[in-house]
Structure 1
């Protein structure tokens, strides 16, 4: 009987631990071509604060999607830790999100848009100099939960070599004072030109 009680308690503790919030930085890349035909585009990436290594100059970043550029099928599968191809859909693909998820995603996008801090401006000029790309990078430190899963298919072509994505799936709060920490300062001066920001079609 004691063994059963212990197992139940262990499961409860494990479940609670798995649902704890983590701290992240949402990176917003706004790209615009001067002299080109394409309008400005916005792409979001994410880094878990605990994964930032100032000494090793490492900041593992992964695609994330705040505008719900994925189906409800992908959301469900990702939260079950199953592989997804979030950029491929069929007539049977379900985009009928739960109301709770829709509201949480809308709230997160607003939180990021209203609290992002400018980090860097990247200028890319092609050899003919007819088109110049301006990429502005912003950061927003938040706390919450994301579903993490591997990707395959078309999604791999828009992940800059990464094989994993994070999809928002909780209520989020702003992390105050992050930019004054050592990791915050590291993010501010990180070379974001290493990242190809486009993660959607």
Structure 2
């Protein structure tokens, strides 16, 4: 699997008209895969992202600022454009004005990026819960460290997330950062996700 996902020239040209002045940064993409033994009808998949921090000491810890990352195409193209301009975005809202004028091969770009994330991830936590009547839930948390650019903006709706939350869409080339978990003077995430509200879409098994 290649360590880079590159947008084709047409996609880069199409995006150039509506974009923030983006800076390449290092991030960790978090994948939450949730399975239930009853009523789930497949594996739920959620993506979140946090900027990687540099640390002066190996035992130093900073609470990560984690926000939603949308790697599936379920929103209108005008919401992607709004976010890339730094405006408020409503990705879950569909109206008579909703458009789907995405750059050519945008779906393929997202598919390739999801594959890159999946093929280079490391398991960092497993959360198991059990309720009465035999209901069980298992959430596996994975981390993929990458270098790339994001369109970031405020969320304007009230579905899944809270109004004013930060959300993001990937843009351009992404490259895997290898051996990050073992690099000196860096910490990935010493965070317990047991109480983290990770539900930000309704995608399930069959969508990578």
**TM-score, normalised with respect to structure 1:** 0.79
User: Aligned-pair distance for 1:194?
Assistant: 3.1
| Counterpart for residue 95 of structure 2 | 90
Alignment partner of 2:74 out of 48, 69, 76: 69
Does the 8 A contact of 1:105 with 1:169 survive in 2? no
Change (3 A) 1:92 1:70: same
User: Aligned-pair distance for 1:160?
Assistant: 6.7
Does the 8 A contact of 1:31 with 1:135 survive in 2? yes
RMSD: 2.6
Alignment partner of 2:35 out of 26, 32, 35: 32
| Counterpart for residue 172 of structure 2 | 170
Greater Rg over alpha carbons, structure: 1
Question: In 1, distance between residues paired with 2:186 and 2:55?
Answer: 10
Structure 1, unmatched stretches of 5+, are 1-17
| Counterpart for residue 194 of structure 2 | 193
User: Aligned-pair distance for 1:162?
Assistant: 6.8
The structure whose residues are more often helix, as a share, is 1
Does the 8 A contact of 1:88 with 1:154 survive in 2? no
Does the 8 A contact of 2:156 with 2:163 survive in 1? no
Question: In 1, distance between residues paired with 2:199 and 2:87?
Answer: 23
Change (3 A) 1:77 1:160: closer
**TM-score, normalised with respect to structure 2:** 0.77
Change (3 A) 1:52 1:84: farther
Structure 2, unmatched stretches of 5+, are 1-20, 203-208
Deviation string for 1:33-70 (max 9, x for gaps)?
11334321100000011388974540111011111232
Does the 8 A contact of 1:101 with 1:170 survive in 2? no
User: Aligned-pair distance for 1:85?
Assistant: 1.3
Deviation string for 1:122-156 (max 9, x for gaps)?
01222x1421111011010011100000012234x
Change (3 A) 1:182 1:94: farther
Change (3 A) 1:50 1:101: farther
| Counterpart for residue 128 of structure 2 | 123
Question: In 2, distance between residues paired with 1:37 and 1:102?
Answer: 26
Task: Give runs of ≥4 in structure 1 deviating > 6 Å.
Answer: 51-54
